[in-house]
Amino acid sequence: MNENSNGLLRRDGLPKKSDFNISEESEIISVANYRNNIPRKSLGYKTPIEVFMDFVYPCLA
């Protein structure tokens, strides 16, 4: 799963050996938002952000 995720990150605009210290923050946020809104089979076809909110929201209520 990790290798697949790494490949998808490279495909989505973060090349291998990227230096995040010189990358634009908006570029990193854009890729993260895109990746966190893709449904995953391993998460029951929910997006990572949906799973995160399901976990966090009860703690905030």
Domain ranges, ordered by start, for the chain: 2-60
DSSP 8-58: HHHHTT--TT--TTTS-HHHHHHHHHHHTTS-BGGGTTB-HHHHHHHHHHH
The residues, ordered by sequence, that sit 6+ positions from 5 with a Cβ below 8 Å of its Cβ are: 35
Find where tokens 């995953």 sit: 40
Q: What's the pLDDT tens digit per position in 5-24?
A: 767 777 766 777 777 676 78
- Confidence (pLDDT) at 1: 60
- Confidence (pLDDT) at 53: 92
48: pLDDT strictly greater than 90: yes
Closest CA to 52 of 43, 61, 6: 43
